[in-house]
Amino acid sequence: MSLEERLVCLVKQAVKALYDAEAADAQIQLQKTRPEFEGNITLVVFPFVKIARKAPAQTASEIGEWLVANGEGLIAKFNAVQGFLNLVIADDFWVKQLQAIDSDGNYGRQPDRNQLMMVEYSSPNTNKPLHLGHVRNNLLGYSIAQIQEANGWKVVKTNIVNDRGIHICKSMLAWLKYGNGETPESSGKKGDHLIGDYYVRFDVEYKKQIAALMAEGKDEETAKREAPLMLEAQEMLRKWEANDPEIRSLWAKMNEWVYAGFDETYKQMGVSFDKIYYESNTYLEGKSEVEKGLASGQFYRREDGSVWADLSKDGLDEKLLLRSDGTSVYMTQDIGTAKLRFQDFPIDKMVYVVGNEQEYHFKVLSILLDRLGFPFGKELVHFSYGMVELPNGKMKSREGTVVDADDLMAKMIEDAREISKDKVNTLQGITEDEANEIARKVGLGALKYFILKVDPRKNMLFNPAESIDFNGNTGPFIQYTYARIQSVLRKADLKAFKDLKDLKDLDPKELALIQRLCEYPQIVRTAGDEFSPAVICNYAYALACDFNSFYHDLSILNEPDEAKRALRLLLAKNVAKVLRSAMSLLGIEMPERM
């Protein structure tokens, strides 16, 4: 039974004993005691004033006296401030809480709820490498999956690869025209980088053709539509959908180059997937579902042959599902992907990690899936997050002005290596490989924490220099706190953890740490309910700050009192344990030495 549950029971007993009345759960309001008052938990007494027929302060005092006398040692003392009863919980309770945390190998994790959640994230296009926007998407998706697993869900992490469409044909066409047979092996480039270069090349040449047509007197829209490169790319897409063997062979070869590049990036980023779907497989399933919806009257066909859904009854407009030439759109693909996923897994909740510019798309998708009879349609969750911006503006893939994910991660690791060089050199016996591994963990930890600590619904400005600071609300600060604790524990007598019998009064710093540790399970639940890794970040930072304040003011290894030394070692051990657990929910590794 939690502290709050025990207090609720005791308050009910007090009200019954003092005023011969039954207190409802809703009447018992408990909150954290304000810092200017002595106490750990405050009971709001106003709901009982009418029952007691006494002033708020007198009612609070009477309940406080009863709790001290009858609470089996749980309440050490109290103070009443008008209608607020501030309760001081006995030190013995907190020590037992710490020991319970220490003995719980799965502390913070919730019981299995026997339900399956699918979390989709990443969703790259095979015409370019992953960039900073993808980094935020992948880190959020992976962290949400970890947090929901900690909340008892069975989680399937999934990815939908957008491997078909006009944008893919643009890269293919540019490679055919300008590539001279270049390959990842011949160029020394990762496959996704190589194909991304040709996507940019297409845009360069396309703009030249538009300018030439406009110089001949055509307006811009006509020039864009009639540019030879665009017409060729559209013809290539039609051939692809008609299963032209030559086009399909080229497409398969170039996609394999990209997939190999993606795999390297995902591995470095520390994210993974349980199942990968490909738009080239799912769009046909989507077309089939649209045809069924058309036959059943859910959708309608216009005179030009295009198929639409009328969403006016849902307060929305009409949505295109199939073009007049029969080719599919993104919505068609998402319907097909949902169908295949529901066939593959007994999904209870489907979560799409996609930027906030797609909010309308997912409102429509939820309605369409529900109309088509998919049970999880109404339960669809669009985890909508803000965009990542840079000090010099937004990124544009076509113009090659993106911040590449591989380059960003490499730069973060190199920055960590430079910043921590002096610290690492002070570690005795450390090898170059170990120093590189520390730099990798710190650099990627800095990147992940900086991105995840921001409320995901907000746009964010990414500042690499600020993210890797060893002070302040950063990943390296928390990692350094963890490494500091590991250094203390390596020097400690581990047998000291066992003897807390003769412990005297707790220091306020010790008490604050224990109370913070006790909050962790609720923090995990809140992060799951809100789909917010930022909740975990804020908690980990607060715990690290509490420990550093404790470490600054109180001796651990040199404490002469054996019971106090044992308690402080146990505190340090479990702060490290919870920090490691919390950071793992963010996908962040913790170095044992820094």
327: left (phi over 0), alpha (psi -120 to 50) or beta: beta
- pLDDT (0 to 100) of residue 471: 84
Confidence of residue 349 (pLDDT cuts 50, 70, 90): very high
Confidence of residue 334 (pLDDT cuts 50, 70, 90): very high
Confidence of residue 396 (pLDDT cuts 50, 70, 90): very low
Please write the tens of the pLDDT for every residue from 535-579.
999 999 999 999 999 999 999 999 998 889 989 999 999 999 999
- pLDDT (0 to 100) of residue 394: 47
Q: pTM (2 decimals)?
A: 0.90
Please write the tens of the pLDDT for every residue from 245-285.
999 999 999 999 999 999 999 999 999 999 999 999 998 89
Q: Nearest-CA neighbor of 372 among 337, 330, 326, 415?
A: 337
| Pairwise pLDDT comparison (466 vs 109), residue with the higher score | 109
- pLDDT (0 to 100) of residue 426: 56
Is the pLDDT score of 456 beyond 50?
yes
Share of the chain above pLDDT 90, in %: 80
Confidence of residue 400 (pLDDT cuts 50, 70, 90): very low
Q: Which domains does the chain have, with CATH numbers?
A: 3-89 (3.30.1360.70), 278-403 (3.40.50.620), 405-584 (1.10.730.10)
Q: Nearest-CA neighbor of 484 among 593, 377, 337?
A: 593
Dump the DSSP string for 213-269: HHHTT--HHHHHHH-HHHHHHHHHHHHHHTT-HHHHHHHHHHHHHHHHHHHHHHHHH
Residue type, 582: A
- pLDDT (0 to 100) of residue 185: 97
Confidence of residue 329 (pLDDT cuts 50, 70, 90): confident
Dump the DSSP string for 550-568: HHHHS-STT-SSHHHHHHH
- pLDDT (0 to 100) of residue 403: 82
Confidence of residue 495 (pLDDT cuts 50, 70, 90): low
Average pLDDT of the chain, as a whole number: 92
Please write the tens of the pLDDT for every residue from 168-227.
999 999 999 999 999 999 999 999 999 999 999 999 999 999 999 999 999 999 999 999
| Pairwise pLDDT comparison (328 vs 297), residue with the higher score | 297
Please write the tens of the pLDDT for every residue from 17-68.
999 999 999 999 999 999 899 999 999 999 999 999 999 999 999 999 999 9
Taking CB atoms within 8 Å and a gap of at least 24, the contacts of 549-552 are 549/509, 549/512, 550/509, 550/510, 550/512, 550/513, 551/484
CA–CA gap between residue 139 and residue 353 (Å, rounded):
10
Is the pLDDT score of 399 beyond 60?
no
